[in-house]
Amino acid sequence: MDNATIALSFSRLSDYEQCPLKFKQKYIEKSYPDDSNNPAFAKGNAIHKQLEDYVVYLSSTDKDNKPSMTTVTQAVTPMIDKLYTASNGNIFPEKQIAVDQNWEACTWFDPPHVVKYRAIIDCLVFLNDEELLIIDWKSGKVREYEDGPTTQLKLTAVILFSLYPKIETITSSYMFVEHKKTVSVKFSRDQLEDMRAAFDDAHKTVNLATDFPHKKNRYCNWCLSTDCPIKG
């Protein structure tokens, strides 16, 4: 890596934790095959776009152009309507957030040596001056929250606590749109120091890495690597 700093997101960190070789191929060598045409990705992207358009529509003065939605996404709109009312319109779709090496605000497009972590929040709701709600729209089968030191919901909570010092509690949720099922976990500011330390350690581990071995994991069957010893 030549001691270069790599900005991380949950997906990047997750790739490294699953298989360092896959991480190297995707983000350093840029040799990993493009999988953006995956049907599951396409379905998930369509769901995200429809729900993003609906949240934007709620704040728009043009009420004659309601976005097109499927039966699946239409079923979620009553919940979004309630959140819009409860938050007095302080609801934001596809919110891009980033922090620098000191966990202070920076821009999404700052260079990698500046940015420590980036995240995109599918739906961010300011319920009041001290409480936030995060929603991550999910397609596919329902899965329970798997706790761990570097989960997706923890990362977004750590970044938001860092950016908004008055926020005391954050409820983070996976919303499985096709099943109308929500899995939530609540974080408080007194957890911030320990949670942040875990992501500090993870960032350091990735950026100091010089060896990227393959690692067998539960996603190996879906990996597109062409030169992995396990796949070979």
Q: What is the pLDDT along the chain (232 residues), one digit of tens a residue?
A: 445 589 999 999 999 999 999 999 999 999 999 888 888 888 999 999 999 999 999 999 888 889 999 999 999 999 999 999 999 999 999 999 999 999 999 999 999 899 999 999 999 999 999 999 999 999 989 988 889 999 999 999 999 999 999 999 999 999 999 999 999 999 999 999 999 999 999 999 999 999 999 999 998 998 999 888 886 5
Between the alpha carbon of residue 56 and those of residues 63, 95, 150, 174, 180, the distances in Å are 11, 12, 31, 20, 21
What is the value of pTM for the model shown?
0.93
Domain membership of residue 204 (yes or no) is: yes
Domain assignment of residue 189, yes or no = yes
For residue 2, tell me if it sits in a domain: no
| pLDDT of amino acid 226 | 84
Q: Is residue 5 part of a domain?
A: no
Do the domain assignments include residue 4? no
Is 229 part of any domain? no
Alpha carbons 198 and 105: distance in angstroms, whole number? 19
Q: How far is residue 45's CA from residue 73's CA, in Å, rounded to a whole number?
A: 12
Residue 47's alpha-carbon distances to 74, 145, 174, 206, in angstroms, are 10, 21, 14, 32
Residue 40 lies in a domain: yes
| Residue 1 lies inside a defined structural domain of this protein | no
Q: How many domains does the chain have?
A: 1
pLDDT in tens, 53-97: 999 999 998 888 899 999 999 999 999 999 999 999 999 999 999
Q: Which of left, alpha, beta for 30 (phi over 0: left; psi -120 to 50: alpha)?
A: left
**Cα 34 from Cα 184, distance rounded (Å):** 32
Q: Which domain holds residue 41?
A: 10-222
CA distance linking residue 201 with residue 51, whole number of Å? 35
At 45, the amino acid letter reads N
Closest CA to 199 of 151, 165, 162: 151
CATH of the domain at 15: 3.90.320
